A and B are shown apart, each in its own frame.
Chain A
Amino acid sequence: MSQRVGIIGFGQTYHRSRRDDVNGVELINEAVRAALEDAELTIDDIDAVVIGNMDHFEAVNYVDTWSVDGSGAWMKPLIKLTTGGTTGSTLGIAGYHHAASELFDVVLVIGWEKNSESDTTGAIITCSDPIFDRFSFSGALPGLAVEASTYMKRYGITEEDAALVAVRDREHGANNPYAQLRKPVTVEEVMQSPMLSWPVKLLDICPRSDGAAAVIFAGEQKAKKLSPRPAWVLSTSVRHSHSYFSDINYEEIHTMQEAVKELYKNVGIKEPLKELDVVELYQPYSFAGLKWIEAMGLCKPGESPRLLRDKVTHMDGELPFNPSGGVICTNCIGATGLLRIGEAALQVMGRAPGRQVPDVNLALSTGFGGAYWTDLMLLGSRPW
């Protein structure tokens, strides 16, 4: 058994800081309808449904069974996965395995979050071990601030270097009609934005969004039949090492290094900067757009600011990052990793109006979450 798998449809909501006009189930339904329309399918064509979010944001237990009216999973195989920030990428990878296993042919994958209904930090804070970690690593910011300051000290990186990343993604986000933050910003504006936890400022970091994403995966024969140009899943790689924030070596991002090593080996990539065509990076804050791309092997440690200054990762550069505007423009957490996969798929399918990178053969999408975990999915225009 086992078959190749391609992405044949993608739908997303217009992401906003607050969607008062819909409840969670309705929000999910918007993305599902958009994905089905995109793939020119109906819910009857779907063999299985995969869904996820982070429970504590909406305080709904068993989101899979609760959301059946919106997801369309009535009388269908249904499963829920949750891994924190990596939830969306975890879901996409599960969609791939559902179809690749040949147990199912057409699989609908849904990630969503309605962050406006939550106390984001209050919900995230409980991921830290209550005895050893919670007093210091409380919520998302402390870890990021530790990572950024460690990285700055080690390599002489400046806050202005990081601001370039935020400026790039906000510029890209202006091209994406679905993005929440669509207004470009300048380095000065980033530098003058309120300090949250040194050196991380308000405009360095992602917003919190209401939104949903749905991606349709199909086995090889179905994908070829249903889509003129599917985005084929070439490889996935996941590292969820560590249970404790205090165990992490913040000078590196070990999970990214290990995950790319496996992924590049699987598909024979030797020079990622040259061979990859576009990257949708789960980049929760600007400093990640520097340090983590070094871990991806795009340049030597400490040299990434040059790539930003030379606009290598801008839309017209050698390897554009986040044509969608990325996480800094939109962050509906359970959907965020799946949005990276969906946007990468659009790039491969040549269906990203306003934000299309020309001639994409290889598109890498990533997920980030938990205790500095990394998920990767590589999509390609050819199934081999």
Chain B
Amino acid sequence: MTDIAIVGAAQTGYRRRIDDANFSEMVYEVTSGALADARLDIDAIDNFITVSNDFWDGRTISSMAVQDACGSSYQGGRNVSTVEGDGTFGLLYGMMRILSGAYKTTLVVVHCKGSEGNMRQITNGMFDYIYTRPLGIEATAAAALQARRYMDRYGLTEEDFAHVSVKNRGNARLNPHAQLAADMTIEDVMTSKVMAAPLKMHDLSPISDGAAAVILADRNTASKLGRKPVWIKGIANCSEAHYLGDRDLAEAPALRDAAHRAYGMAGIENPFEEIDVVELYDAYSYMEPLWLEELGFCPRGKGGELTRLGATAFDGPVPVNPSGGVLSAHAVLVAGLARVIEATLQIRGEAGERQVEGPVELALAHGINGPCGQSHCVVILGE
């Protein structure tokens, strides 16, 4: 349990290409939206965290483009910092700066335009330039290795993963922010174009443009606001080894470690029983069952079965990615914070058509950095 609450949130719709807004205009939109959601004025924000990536933006010091737009320049300027990584890591650092006693509120804002970059070249850039980059490996090729290893280890099939795409793209039909929503069949996934075997087109998340923002506040400030605060009950991050050959890709020990510590903070002993809704970073279909295993929702190798039995369905005992998840909209960096926002909306009971049944008291959101989920951040949100 921490003393930090999410008191405001906003996200753009996620689209393949947002032509009518540049980085700062997208950031201004969600900053204004989050302030309005929190019923706060920019005067009330004494700390800012922007999240961006110089490779995706094609600009060095990518945070520079959004300093005016996020409000950090307002009235002589306020304290600000910039995280380069998934939005959940921005949330974590924003939270630390309140816990340290330095600030009372924090705006965390993240943007990315996948449409303006070349995904393959940009993600090839995260591999070592001496040993692995020359192979041409990039995010999807690396993910295919992980999917294959995961299948081999537990005897899983491509159909097991197809169930995830069908479920999440189906859920996305209820989410107006989602980019890809579809009434798909297993066959649709199985017959889609092979991108990097065993992964096919519908196993992959799309390339998206979008932005998201949340406002954090300490207990004093949060309890004075009219809106119901959503508390950060636990949060933890962890990274494992870099080289794919140094890892068993059918495991995610960093996620296991982060989850263990986040559960400890939140007092969770049995995640399957206690957590009401999960928003995971499913950049590829196979990631959802793999991450669920390492988060302790089922034994190792049983993630696929969990999906097939409907346990993670919209109306199942633990709905996973009722928003449609990253498979339905993948603005890189933004996607983790979008998971946090979706979990927040579920706890508030304000998720509209995608609100899951029953009271949502505890929700899990998750973000990743690096190839094949090398570094993870787990966030537990609650009433």
Contact = CB atoms under 8 A, between A and B. Distances in A.
A247 B69 CA distance: 14
A66 interface: yes
Interface in A263-290: none
A258 B85 contact: no
Nearest to A122: B60
Contacts of B129: 59-60
Interface string B95-129: 11101111000000000000000000011011111
A69 B99 contact: no
A255 interface: yes
A96 B239 CA distance: 20
A251 interface: no
Nearest to B78: A239
B96 A64 contact: no
Interface stretch (B50-58, B170-178, B341-349): B50-58
B125 A60 contact: yes
A59 B130 CA distance: 12
A214 to B, nearest CB: 17
B238 interface: yes
B31 interface: no
Contact of A77 (B58, B77, B80, B236): B236
Interface string A54-85: 11100111101111110001111111111110
Contacts of B29: none
Interface stretch (B276-284, B309-317, B318-326, B370-378): B370-378
Interface in B113-166: 122-123, 125-130
Contact of A81 (B61, B66, B84, B239): B84
Given A62-B85, A242-B67, A255-B77, A126 B242 contact: no
Contacts of B370: 62, 64-66
A179 B351 CA distance: 57
Given A1-B3, A101-B96, A238 B79 contact: yes
Given A66-B126, A129-B65, A79 B83 contact: yes
Contact of B96 (A60, A83, A103, A129): A103
A124 interface: yes
Contacts of A76: 238-239
Nearest to A85: B61
A334 to B, nearest CB: 11
Interface string A1-28: 1100000000000000000000101000
A60 B371 CA distance: 13
Looking at B100, B127, B375, the one whose CB has the most chain A CB atoms below 10 A away is B100
B68 A243 contact: yes
A241 B60 contact: no
A88 B76 CA distance: 23
A180 interface: no
B298 to A, nearest CB: 23
A64 B369 contact: yes
A240 B122 contact: no
A60 B64 contact: no
Given A102-B99, A369-B61, A94 B54 contact: no
Contact of B85 (A66, A80, A96, A129): A80
A100 interface: yes
A242 B68 contact: yes
Q: Is the interface of A mostly helix, strand, loop or mixed?
A: mixed
Contact of B55 (A55, A68, A90): A55
Interface residues of A, number: 64
B64 A79 contact: no
Interface in B212-256: 236-243, 253-254
B82 interface: yes
B interface bracket (residues with beta carbon within 8 Å of A): 35 or more
Contact of A124 (B24, B60, B76): B60
A25 B242 CA distance: 12
B128 A66 contact: yes
B24 A243 contact: yes
B323 to A, nearest CB: 25
Contacts, number: 201
A371 interface: yes
A217 B127 CA distance: 30
Contacts of B123: 61
A191 interface: no
Nearest to A54: B60
B59 interface: yes
B64 to A, nearest CB: 5
B257 interface: yes
Contacts of B272: none
Contacts of A240: 63-64, 67, 72-73, 77, 80, 82
Contact of B81 (A56, A83, A125): A83
A127 interface: yes
Given A255-B77, A258-B76, A60 B126 contact: yes
B184 interface: no
B101 A100 contact: yes
B201 interface: no
B99 A2 contact: yes
A158 B232 CA distance: 56
A65 B96 contact: no
Interface of A: 1-2, 23, 25, 52, 54-56, 59-62, 64-69, 73-84, 90, 93-94, 96-98, 100-103, 123-127, 129-130, 236-244, 247, 254-255, 258-259, 369-371
Given A96-B100, A242-B68, A255-B77, 17 more contacts: A1-B99, A55-B60, A60-B125, A65-B375, A69-B241, A74-B240, A74-B241, A77-B239, A82-B54, A82-B84, A236-B79, A238-B81, A241-B77, A244-B68, A369-B61, A370-B61, A370-B63
Interface of B: 2-3, 24, 53-55, 58-69, 72-73, 76-85, 89, 92-93, 95-97, 99-102, 122-123, 125-130, 236-243, 253-254, 257-258, 369-371, 374-375
29 contacts: A1-B3, A54-B54, A54-B60, A55-B53, A56-B60, A60-B125, A61-B123, A65-B126, A65-B239, A66-B242, A67-B242, A68-B241, A75-B238, A79-B237, A82-B62, A82-B82, A83-B61, A97-B96, A97-B97, A102-B99, A126-B59, A126-B60, A127-B64, A236-B79, A239-B77, A242-B73, A243-B67, A254-B76, A259-B77
